[in-house]
Chains A and B, each alone.
Chain A
Amino acid sequence: MEPAAIASSIIFTVLGITIVIGVLAYRLGIKVLRADTYIVAGRALGFIVTFLNMAAVIYSGFAFLGAAGWAYSYGAPVLYIWVYGALAYTFAFFFAPRIWSVAKGRNLLTQADFFLWRYNSKLLMTLVALVGILFNIPYIQLQILTVRYVLDLSTYGALPSLHLAVLSFLLVVLYVFLGGMVSVAIANVFLGAIMLGAMLGGSLAIIGHYFGGLEGLFRAVAEVSPQHLAFPGAAGIHPVQWFITAAVGCGLGFWVWPQLAQMVFPARSPRVLRRSVVMTSWYHVLGIIWASLTGLAAVALGIKLAAADQAFIFLIDKTFGPAALGLIGAAGMAAALSSGAGILLTQASLCARNLYQQLVKPTASDRELVLVTRISVIVFAAIGAILAYVAPAQLVYLLLVGYAGITQMFPGWVLGSIWKWITREGVLAGLVVGETVVVLTTFVWSNPLGIHSIVWGLIFNLPLALLISKLTYREAKAPQG
């Protein structure tokens, strides 16, 4: 059997199993299809499903391949990925149960619902929904292109990878359309488990095979390219203050992403959430950290790659052959599709629940809401697929500002859930100024003084949001929280 046939048969078997699981979850798991069943799985998900669903959505195809790519290109700056995950989980352990309780008590289905309830502002709700939809469009496209990338590498360019990537994505759309969150979550249990096995198993095998352990790996990197082991890294553009601000900024912004809020709401209880966050922190330790070290392994072996993100897949192929390549390729595809499914459902939910039901037709029935969400799933999937064909590079600017831009919702989302005196005027003012600063410090004066644009945005956003909230609180109506 040809190597490409071996690898691709494993990849498409995994895809087939995923689709079957997703469709079966809909057939067996949903008795009555209501909006809360479709969007937040009736808030009934137990520990294993919540944990692996969360992990599968968090660790996208970009993270799966990109962490090794970062280590290969830059070296020490990859530590920000190690650290911000840990910071985000320590934060989520306390924050996620709190926001879950608020959402459960008020039947909030989306992050934008929270802003409407908390600030009684349709303007803020609309802004949050639009930001969530807009910034995630390139992420959907990115997941499709990651599948294409994985297929190209895993099949040695033997298959029409873009067509197959779009087809794979549309098959995933089928179960998202049918079962909503239930299908996404159950399928993600399978995908999340495959990803962890591949990241840990593949990385340990590579490091053990070539270096006998971590000491051998780091000693080899120290000889070949010592600049990979310290800041500002191999490219010389990531000083230590960049690391600190990127780690803190991304740690704070992590749970502001609407799709991650959407992964919190379906849990059965705060206890399930805490347990899931704990396990996801271990998933981070055992998965992404080890996967990133394969990038250093490529450096130590003196391998010249056409693209840095090939590091993990290239080493697996070179070392263990097409069957292992197929397994890692399947895991890379799993990472992309699982995140894509979660993001797609989140976009559709924001559109249907907040733009359609809250703004256009408040009398829309439950059944109608599910229908509009399903139509939105198709529309956003089509947009992602079309963009993957016609504009693969143009949306990179949205990706560049995506994380920093989303993080500017931190005061309204996080502080607003803790302090009653945060007002909509404060949140709005901070948001507008924060987003403006992010755009300026990304495109006009990139990361001034080596400080990440997320933090520049928050430096202006947070004090302004707090100050204006203090000034307007007495005049504002007491928040409902």
Chain B
Amino acid sequence: MGTEEAVRSRERLFMWLAALIWLMVTVPAPFLNGLPVFVAGMPILWFWMLLWVVLAAVLLTVAYFVVERG
């Protein structure tokens, strides 16, 4: 925990990681679309999207603990 300013300075790394999530769910989509490959029982396109949606939640969870608790 710290002041809001200290918290914001710790946020910066996670902002870049959040930007990475925005890229990873959009840029690969045209390349994965229609590929006849199944991963973990799902078409790779669906698996990829689910993976990054879950990773976004994981990232925010980690970010919360790091940012709020220093």
Contacts and interface: CB of A to CB of B under 8 A. Distances in A.
A93 B18 contact: yes
A218 B33 contact: no
Interface class of chain A by DSSP: helix
A275 B46 CA distance: 28
Contacts of A85: 53
Given A91-B18, A274-B64, A79 B45 contact: yes
Interface class of chain B by DSSP: helix
A216 B14 CA distance: 36
Contacts, number: 114
A203 B13 CA distance: 36
B60 A89 contact: yes
B53 to A, nearest CB: 4
Nearest to A218: B42
Interface in A82-114: 82-83, 85-87, 89-91, 93-94, 97, 101
A287 B14 CA distance: 25
A133 interface: no
A102 to B, nearest CB: 11
B4 to A, nearest CB: 6
A216 B38 CA distance: 12
B18 to A, nearest CB: 4
Contact of A93 (B30, B54, B60): B60
Interface in A212-247: 213-216, 218-219, 222, 229-231, 240-241, 243-244, 247
Interface of B: 1, 4, 7, 11, 14-15, 18, 21-22, 25-26, 29-30, 33-34, 38, 40-43, 45-46, 49-50, 52-54, 56-57, 59-61, 63-64, 67-68
28 contacts: A76-B33, A79-B49, A86-B53, A86-B56, A87-B21, A87-B22, A89-B57, A90-B21, A90-B22, A90-B59, A90-B60, A91-B18, A94-B11, A94-B15, A214-B41, A214-B42, A218-B41, A218-B43, A230-B45, A240-B33, A248-B22, A270-B4, A270-B7, A271-B1, A275-B68, A278-B63, A285-B54, A289-B50
